[in-house]
Structure formats: C-alpha cells, structure tokens
Structure 1
C-alpha cells in the first residue's frame, strides 16, 4: 500500500509559488505572514493533520511534486510538536510549548542544520530565503494552533492519547 500524497499536486501548475522545490501554498490562517489566503475550505494544514497518522507508518515516500515536500515538512513538524507534549500537559501549557516551538529559530532547506537537504533544494536567492523562512514560520504557527484543537477536542486537561501515541513514530526515519 503506497503512502498518501498531497491533493494539491494538481494545483502546483496554476496557484502555487515554488521556492527551491517546495510549494508555497495558500493557508487559512489568522497569523501574520506572506501566505496567500486560502479560498477553499480545505488547505495544506488540514491535509497534514488528516494524513499524519496514516503516513507515519511509512519509511519510504515517493515524492511526486513540490506539494509533497510541503506535506513532508508539515508531517515532520507535527511529529516534533507531539514529542514536545506529554500526557500530563494541559491545554494552556501545550499552547505555550507549541507557540515557543513554532517561533523558535529553525533551519530551512539549504541551511547546514536542515535534516532533509538531500530532498530539498535551497532557495535561489536571499529574498526567496527570507520569504521561505517567513512562510514556514506562519505555517508552523497555524499547524500548531490547529493541532491543539485536535489534541484537546474532548478534554482541556488531558491531550488525546490517540494522537500522542503517534509522536514516537518517525516518518521516513527523519526528524526536524
């Protein structure tokens, strides 16, 4: 059974800006940043959250386009978020932890500390590099915000054990 790929692969030709070989897709977000507003009810963040648990079982992932690279980055960041929360973390503590994790300094494709440099091309110039860093910062904030909504959907004091159990799995044997 193959891994689940991004449904935004078809939109790469018309809507998506590509930096390096990573798609810059529109987001439904309230956070400040360069992402275009998503006019659809489903965006890449929703897709990452929906496909995360199924895709974590795969050690190999055939990349079919730039949107898949955005999906991979999101899955690895979501896994990092789950690893930073434990079973005793309440919702307010989780918001603080994930907000700090989202805003912490992070490596982008082309940086020395980026773990997936073999799969991602670096940005072509400094302006693209700054734009990608701002987009990924907005992307990370939105993803962590929506993840908190899923983790604490039924109880504000205890995160869902069905989500936290997947934090230990490594997608493609990689981590951010």
Structure 2
C-alpha cells in the first residue's frame, strides 16, 4: 500500500526555493507565506489529515515539490508530539501552545544546511536571499502548524490530551526526525 501524497503537487505556477514548494497557507502569523483561500484546505490541513496514516510508512516516494514540504511538516508534527510527550507533567492547552510555539521558532536546519537530515532529497536554495526567504516561510508554517496541532490535541473540550494523537509520539515517519 503506497503512502498518501499531497494533492497540491499539481497546482500550477507555484514558487519553489530549491525544489521545495512555497504553498499558500491560512495563517494569522506574519511572514512571507502567500495567503490561501480560507474556504479551501491548505498544506497544513493536509499535513494534519495525512499525519497518522503516513507516519506508519517507512518509505515515501516523492512525486512533487509539495510532497517535499509535506515530509518536513509531518516530521515537525512528530517532533511536536515527542516534545509534549517528554514533558514531566501533562501540559494543559496553554502550556502546550507555549511549548510548541517555542519549538516552532527555535533555530532549525533548512535544506542545504550541513545538519539537515534529508539533504539527499532536497536541493539547497540558490542564494542567501532564497535561504532567508525559505527560513522565514518555514518558521511561519511551523508556527501555524503548531497552533492547529494544539487545537487538534485538545479538541474534545475536556482539557486533556487526545490519546489517539499521542499514541503516535514514538512513531517515526520514514524512521527520521528533524532533530528539533
């Protein structure tokens, strides 16, 4: 059974930095990301929808630039769940939001950096300006993804973490981690 791929691979006229798609997102955070139509699903919605199914796969065939972004975001969700699971006490929603927002804005490697774990599958940015744009874009996307993940984790209204999401905290997509 093959892994689930991004439906945004076929979008025309998408900017790429290296070979990573710069897709529009619905966000309240400031940054360089293009804004998406609020009525349609964006890459963050797709990441949250496909995370649990794709985290079961060890192999993932990349079919386009949106898949490369999807891989990075799935690995970030995995790191977020591991961070929450590693807390001494179970965090409430506010504590989890702070924890994951800090993780989202912490310094992280981008494709082309020596310590980026998937450099074999990603082209580095062409120049320093593209690298800074990519770092800003990924920071903005990570912040929005962390916010939406917390909403999913505490969606039942009881203030307790979803056991269905937290059961994936030790599972590694493609046996990799971003090392955040």
TM-score (structure 2 length as normaliser): 0.94
Contact 1:89 1:157 in 2 (8 A): no
Distance across 2 between alignment mates of 1:73 and 1:156? 30
Contact 1:59 1:173 in 2 (8 A): yes
Corresponding residue for residue 143 of structure 2: 141
Corresponding residue for residue 48 of structure 2: 49
- The Cα shift of 1:155 comes to 3.4
Distance across 2 between alignment mates of 1:120 and 1:167? 25
TM-score (structure 1 length as normaliser): 0.96
Corresponding residue for residue 130 of structure 1: 132
Distance across 2 between alignment mates of 1:163 and 1:127? 37
Distance across 2 between alignment mates of 1:37 and 1:9? 17
- In the alignment, is residue 61 of structure 1 matched against residue 91 of structure 2? no
Q: Classify the secondary structure of the residue corresponding to 2:120.
A: coil
Q: Deviations over 1:51-106 (max 9, x none)?
A: 00000010000000100000000000000000011371111110110010001001
Q: CA RMSD in A?
A: 1.1
User: Is there any run of 5+ residues in structure 2 with no aligned partner, and where?
Assistant: none
The count of corresponding residues between Structure 1 and Structure 2 is 174
Corresponding residue for residue 28 of structure 1: 26
Contact 1:91 1:156 in 2 (8 A): no
Distance across 2 between alignment mates of 1:16 and 1:25? 7
Corresponding residue for residue 4 of structure 1: 4
Runs of 4+, deviation exceeding 4 Å: none
**Larger displacement relative to structure 2 (76-85 or 151-160):** 151-160
- The Cα shift of 1:156 comes to 5.1
Q: Classify the secondary structure of the residue corresponding to 2:76.
A: helix
Distance across 2 between alignment mates of 1:158 and 1:93? 12
Distance across 2 between alignment mates of 1:29 and 1:122? 26
Corresponding residue for residue 72 of structure 1: 71
Contact 1:26 1:43 in 2 (8 A): yes
